[in-house]
Amino acid sequence: MRLLKKIAYACYSITFGLLALTGCTDGELYDVNAPDWISDKIQEIEDSKKQPEEEVLEGMQEDVYTIGNTDFTSGWWAAFSKYYVVPDGEKWNAVFNLHINPTDNTYYKNYAVIVTNDVDRGGTGYTEYGAIRFDVTGSPETYNSQWGDHIDYQYISGTLLLNPDENNADPNIQKLGGKVTLTIDRTSESAFTLKMTNGVATKTYEQPYKEENLNADASNTNIRCFLVPEGSYIDFLQTNIVPIGGLTSALDKIPVSMVLQDVPDQVNVGTPLEEAMANVSAIVTFEEGVTKTVPATELTFSTIPDMEQPGVKTLVAIYNKTFKGENCDKPIMANTTFEVVEQIASIEVTTPPLHTQYFYYTSAATENLANRTMVFDPTGMVVTATYTDQSTRIIDNARLSFSSVSAKSGAQTVTITAEEGITATVEVTVSESTASEVRNTTSMVGAADNSTGFGAAFSDYFSIPMGKTKSIAFTNYSNLANFWNNFVVVLRKANHIDEYAFVRADNWGTGNGYDACVHSGTQGDLNTWLAGMNGAKVTVYVTNCGNSTADVQAVMEGTAGTTSTQYYLGITTVDPSDLNFALTVDGCHLIFNEN
């Protein structure tokens, strides 16, 4: 034992002596003339510092397939991975290659992991915990890199901070590409963790409590996860959990079936078949259930009978490639029908639209808007086309385009245009709405210590008849932790379940009708603005515009005496006969009826 101690002491002394040499002016420890074994050891140590060891994942199995179009054209919610079911107490590890469009630096064009209950997407009872995208944004106006009622943003962290410019671009988005490891960890009884990393960028969600069970059957504690790219694509590689539908091997696969998409209902006589079907695509299913979206350029088309005469035609499409793009021995076919028609000579509105009376409201948030417009609502309108052979046919409104409506009182003419540039007009009347104030039945919504989470407390719901504007005044108190920790306006149907949109004070929203709206605010520097929101006097205006849209406007007088505004114009999917709004909180509380 003593001998071992002496040897250890000697080794320690030698090591200490070598380290001491680093301070000598003429020492050769780091010099090119140092002994090879020392130089090699030093290099090994330095390399180990620069290259952190890659985590060793256990139980990984091959699952090789592609998610999204490889030409980067997949939009949001257009391409999905398989479902990976993660039981309580287990961990899901996935490895895949994320391909970022080298010519597009839009910060949100990467991918998101969606966490849901154990129900098929869009099925009865389908509920999302939320979505977490790979990017972490530093621009306050675009803090939408994660969303969902069961995602607490304060537990998000990341090592690569993006700062999008006014065009939503940041060249650092390119650093998100490459081999990504995704881990969703449910092994802790008091935590839920999600981590995604490619070695350069890491994003983590560390929730310090167990996620609640969103399944209707309380005995089913499973969650599901799937990936959604946007403007990118994913080559999936490995998983430790077998997905629904099974694993996909790396071996090439033979096509077994396909379904055609975007086939036109009508084609004019004389249009070449290739031109008529240029926008058609096909969802091809290969062996092992793998699917791929194939463009028209990879399909062969023919019609029965030919296209020389008007009438209903059968379109036959043929595809003869394997999953990896090799020629296959057994091509697959799909067919559908379309109609060849004469060219349109004229169009006429034979049934007027259901809604022809539109309304707008002007507050301090919109009084300086120039050339403000509203969208035309074709609900109930019937347009009949007369063709060159004098036959007539009703045109689907989805095939028509409409001019916008000026937000100015008086009669307005809307131009309706068919595909051939043939037009017709219809008249609508625009009026300025007047606002009436509503009052909440309670004096406070949300806990006084600002601890109430998003959507955990609501004001009354207020019905807004068509053409009317309702206003409500309150004082907003915030925990000042994040820009979104302020009031939120909720638009729903009278059942308080079917939602049109959620919109926030800091120029961000979500919901079925949100994407089409025009929104902007005058908050300026959001850090300065947020500081004034704890005690800000706020008035919110909500207008039922009569054209199946709603407007939300807010005027916010901060504690420093600076007034800021926010508007959301043209929130769509609204039933004009069933529009209601309420206020909810997120790390804030609201005081009503102070006057």
CATH number of 359's domain: 2.60.40.3630
120 and 216 in a common domain: yes
Smallest Cα–Cα separation from 336: which of 402, 268, 282?
282
User: Which one of 309, 341, 373 terminates a domain?
Assistant: 341
- Residues 507, 365, single domain; the answer is no
Instruction: Assess whether 183 and 279 both reside in one domain.
Output: no
Phi, psi for 33 (deg, rounded to 5): -90, 0
Task: Examine the pLDDT at 139 and tell me if it is beyond 60.
Answer: no
Check whether residue 322 and residue 410 sit in a common domain: no
Which of 341, 368, 389 lies at the terminal end of a domain, its last residue? 341
Q: What is the domain extent for residue 202?
A: 61-239
- Confidence band, pLDDT 50/70/90 cuts, at residue 274: very high
In a shared domain, residues 265 and 177: no
Q: Phi and psi dihedrals of 499, rounded to 5?
A: -100, 145
Answer yes or no: is pLDDT of 486 > 50.
Answer: yes
Q: Are the C-beta atoms of residues 365 and 553 closer than 8 Å to each other?
A: yes
pLDDT of residue 143: 53
Strand residues in 396-545 grouped as ranges (E)? 401-402, 405-406, 410-417, 423-432, 435-437, 444-445, 462-463, 469-478, 488-492, 499-504, 509-510, 518-521, 536-544
Please report whether residue 248 resides in a domain. Answer: no
| Model pLDDT, residue 3 | 36
Residue 313 confidence (pLDDT): 97
So what's the pLDDT on residue 144?
78
Count of domains in the chain? 5
Q: Is the dihedral of CA 503, 216, 79, 260 positive or negative?
A: negative
Q: Is the pLDDT of residue 333 over 80?
A: yes
Q: Domain check: are 428 and 447 in the same one?
A: no
Same domain flag for 356 and 459: no
Q: pLDDT per residue over 439-468, tens digit each? A: 999 999 999 999 999 999 999 999 999 999
Residue 244 lies in a domain: no
401 and 278 in a single domain? The answer is: no
pLDDT(39) > 70:
no
Does 250 reside within a domain? Answer: no
Asked whether 412 and 428 are in contact (CB, 8 A), the reply is yes
Do 482 and 575 fall into the same domain?
A: yes
CATH of the domain at 286: 2.60.40
Instruction: Note whether residue 55 is domain-resident.
Output: no
SS3 289: helix
Checking if the pLDDT of 14 tops 80, the result is: no
pLDDT single digits (tens) 57-97: 888 999 999 999 999 999 999 999 999 999 999 999 999 99
User: Other C-beta atoms within 10 Å of 387: how many?
Assistant: 17
**Structural domain includes residue 142:** yes
Q: Which of 183, 207, 239 is the endpoint of a domain?
A: 239
Kindly state whether residues 99 and 220 are assigned to the same domain: yes
Do 364 and 451 sit in the same domain of this protein?
A: no
Cα→Cα distances 335→258, 417, 463, Å:
9, 30, 48
What is the pLDDT, as a whole number, of residue 165? 85
Amino acid (1-letter code) at residue 306: D
Give the residue with greater pLDDT, 281 vs 167.
Answer: 281
> Do 340 and 309 form a contact (C-beta atoms < 8 A)?
yes
- At 40 the pLDDT is 53
Average pLDDT rounded to a whole number, residues 169-196: 96
Alpha helices in 509-581 (DSSP H): 526-531
Q: Which amino acid, 179?
A: K
Q: How open is the CA angle 72-73-77, to the nearest 5 degrees?
A: 105
Asked if the structure places residue 195 within a domain, the reply is: yes
Domain assignment present for 56 = no
Among 590, 571, 591, CA closest to 579: 571
Strand partners, 420: none
As a whole number, mean pLDDT of residues 475-488 equals 95
Amino acid at 585: V
Residues 170 and 68 in one domain: yes
Confidence check: pLDDT of 34 > 80: no
- Mean pLDDT over 541-554 rounds to 98
Distance CA 321, CA 258 (A): 12
Q: Quote the DSSP letter at residue 458.
A: B
> With pLDDT > 90 as the criterion, what percentage of the chain qualifies?
81
- Residues forming a β-bridge with 267: 340
Residue at 247 is within a domain: no
